[in-house]
Amino acid sequence: MGYHWLVPLAAAIANLLIGVSILWRGSRAATTRAFVWMTTTLVLWNLDIFALYYFTDEAEAEWWSRLFRTGIVLAPAAVFHSTLLIVDFRERLWRRIAWAGHAFGLGLAIVSLVPHTLVRTLAPHQWGWYPVPSHLYAVFTAYGVAYLVLSVAIMWRRYRAPLSARQRLQIQLFFFAAVFQVPFACTNLLTVYGIGIYPLGNLGNVVWTGMIAYAIVRHRFMDLDYVVRTVVSFLLAAGTSTAPAGFAMARLSSLFGAHAPALVGTTSAAVGFVAAVLIPTLQRTIETRVHQAIFAHRYDYRLRLRHLASALVHMLDERELVRALGEQLADVLDVEGCAVYLRDDRTRESPGIAGLYP
């Protein structure tokens, strides 16, 4: 079955650490409890995929998968409930929809524990076992899609009428996380229905929970374009650096394995060292390209601000410095005028206007 089980296992551990770190900050808030519950369902989902990839015996893989499958069945309602609390929707109708989803998911989870109900059997794939869905699985798919659409709908409604500027930034992060999670999660469903594409939902849900955790705990936010370009550039750099090495290591292990432990161990250490050096270097290069491609306007004015900062350090005359600062800021920020105020350190009086530019 290879080493494909490492991906879902790593995702389960990452989600567990994210959930524990949020819980450690305090469990009194309903938002925190809902987030931890959502994270728990995703941990179980990842363990479900891990069991299918890890166990070579079909009966053993089916038993553990059926046990952990309760997580993915409960996940749609958990995601919706967590989203509902984070965006602060208190209407009774939405709360009823959330509890109805939990009740339906719980009933479906209990039914799924019975063999051959949600999943008829397991079929071998190149990366492990994968479930062959029953007719009931279509009901679960419809339920999952419905609550995903509802989650997006309430986020969009709150984004159009936020309770605060901070909440608008939170929701921007939610949508950015969804850009990663939704396509990745769909690859898992496509595989269930016989489309031979490697399931990437495990990686997507780690990005999802990580971004939501950041949105919950941060009182001040980084610019969204910084988050986007940092995450995208890191993923591209990590994938470019580690994917070829991963395939090479898998090939090396299949050829030599236990017969050459020193060779495999030395190669693994070398790959780790190269990745540690290569990933940051590639990320800096890719980040600039991503910034130019996705946020061209912001990249332009930030580049001009950096040039302005470099030029100002060489100006010794105070009036010239203030004039250059005001004119350049008005031009870079595309505003009609920029007022520059200076404080008189001798009299310690209120700051007075030094100039209005342009």
Rounded Cα gap, residues 168 and 313, in angstroms: 36
Axis crossing angle, helix 224-255 with helix 165-192, rounded to the nearest 10: 30
| pLDDT of 243 above 50 | yes
Higher pLDDT, 175 or 94: 94
Full DSSP string of 126-157: TTEEEEEE-HHHHHHHHHHHHHHHHHHHHHHH
- Residue 11 pLDDT: 85
> Cα separation of 30 and 216, whole Å?
12
Q: Quick one: pLDDT at residue 78?
A: 92
pLDDT, position 101: 93
Asked whether the predicted pLDDT for residue 349 surpasses 80, the reply is: no
Question: Can you read off the two tokens belonging to residue 253?
Answer: 């292990």
Q: Which two tokens stand for residue 241?
A: 């650096």
Is pLDDT of 65 > 80? Answer: yes
pLDDT in tens, 8-62: 888 888 888 888 887 876 667 788 888 889 999 989 988 998 898 888 888 899 9
Q: What is the C-alpha separation between 137 and 210, in angstroms, rounded?
A: 28
200: confidence class by pLDDT, cuts 50, 70, 90: confident
Q: Is the pLDDT of residue 317 over 70?
A: yes
- Residue 262 confidence (pLDDT): 65
What pLDDT shows up at residue 63?
A: 92
Which range, 92-96, 127-131, 223-227, 263-267, has the best average confidence (pLDDT)? 92-96
pLDDT of the residue at 254: 64
pLDDT of 227 above 70: no
Tokens of 228: 């986007």
What would the pLDDT profile of 257-298 be if each residue is shown by its tens digit? 555 566 666 766 676 666 667 777 777 777 666 655 555 555
pLDDT band at 222 (very low <50, low <70, confident <90, very high): very low
Residue 301: band (very low, low, confident or very high) from pLDDT cuts 50, 70, 90: low
User: Which tokens is 279 given?
Assistant: 């990933």
Of the segments 162-176, 260-274, 296-310, which one has the largest average pLDDT value? 162-176
